[in-house]
């Protein structure tokens, strides 16, 4: 159910990867094109269902189906899309004690703007190699499946050539080594910094390489997903 290939979009270099700690997992990422937009926008979605395994994977596939149907049938503002998906999910999960966090980002290819909704998910990172700085693309909103009338808000940010956006799940930052230290935000930034001049796929390689070296000899104890977007 993961994307079979990375999107090929003029002006952007985009790559994603998901590594599950079990045979099935609850992490999810996708690249979608809203209906009737003339390929002028691309949606980048990263989600994380609580726990992992069969039940989490089933909830992930349900949310994926709702989201794809909603985007292709009735395009609208990001907050309205996420609100509708949440309303459909709540009846399915209210007895299961499961929920799903999601970062839903929509990139306007011509205007070089990212609009996003954060539903209880990790903030994305917008890194600027030129001055070695970064900002968090944060926001308010409950995870999907918690409350039917949850309110979601759209945020937006101008993006410029050379900048890098990372959208991931908490399995990366919260991964621990044998001493009980967490990988954390700063190590993630260091990995980005070390490969900022490389293609998006090589940035993915660098991040997961840093992560595996950090926790060796331990392996992942949670699903790990990351999408890298370079503005060319």
Cis amide bond preceding 217, omega within 30: yes
Dump pLDDT digits (tens) for 126-167: 999 999 999 999 999 999 999 999 999 999 999 999 999 999
- Output the pLDDT for position 35: 63
- For residues 68 and 28, what is the distance between their CA atoms, to the nearest angstrom? 13
pTM of the model: 0.94
Cα torsion 129, 127, 133, 232 to 10°: value is 30
- Output the pLDDT for position 22: 67
Secondary structure element (H or E) that encloses residue 108, with its range:
strand 100-108
Cα torsion 180, 184, 186, 192 to 10°: value is 120
Q: Is the pLDDT of residue 175 over 80?
A: yes
- Output the pLDDT for position 225: 95
Percent of the chain with pLDDT over 70: 96
- For residues 188 and 176, what is the distance between their CA atoms, to the nearest angstrom? 13
Q: CA 95 → CA 88, 92, 98, 100, distances in Å?
A: 14, 8, 8, 14
- For residues 156 and 87, what is the distance between their CA atoms, to the nearest angstrom? 24
Dump pLDDT digits (tens) for 74-105: 768 899 999 999 999 999 887 778 899 999 99
Q: What number of CA atoms fall less than 13 Å from residue 223's CA on the CB side? A: 27
Q: Is 40 left (phi over 0), alpha (psi -120 to 50) or beta?
A: alpha
Q: CA 209 → CA 176, 204, 212, distances in Å?
A: 14, 8, 5
Percent of the chain with pLDDT over 90: 78
- For residues 58 and 52, what is the distance between their CA atoms, to the nearest angstrom? 10
- Output the pLDDT for position 106: 95
């Amino acid at each position: 159910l993961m994307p079979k290939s990375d999107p090929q979009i003029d002006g952007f270099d985009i790559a994603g990867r998901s590594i599950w700690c079990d045979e099935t997992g609850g992490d999810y990422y996708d690249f979608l094109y809203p209906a009737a937009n003339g390929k002028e926008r691309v949606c980048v979605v990263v989600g994380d269902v609580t726990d992992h395994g069969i039940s989490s994977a089933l909830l992930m596939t349900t949310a994926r189906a709702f989201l794809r149907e909603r985007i292709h049938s009735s395009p609208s503002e990001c907050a309205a899309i996420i609100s509708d998906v949440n309303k459909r999910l709540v009846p399915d999960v209210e007895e299961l004690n499961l929920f799903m966090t999601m970062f839903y980002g929509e990139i306007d290819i011509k205007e070089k703007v990212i609009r996003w909704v954060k539903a209880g998910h990790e903030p994305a990172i917008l890194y600027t190699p030129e001055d070695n700085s970064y900002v968090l693309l944060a926001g308010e909103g409950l995870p999907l499946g918690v409350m039917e009338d949850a309110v979601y808000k759209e945020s937006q940010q101008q993006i410029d050539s050379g900048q890098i956006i990372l959208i991931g799940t908490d399995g990366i930052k919260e991964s621990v080594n044998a001493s009980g230290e967490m990988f954390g935000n700063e190590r993630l930034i260091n990995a980005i910094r070390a490969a900022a001049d490389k293609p998006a796929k090589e940035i993915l390689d660098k991040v997961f390489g840093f992560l595996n070296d950090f926790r060796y000899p331990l392996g992942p104890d949670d699903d790990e997903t990351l999408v890298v977007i370079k503005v060319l």
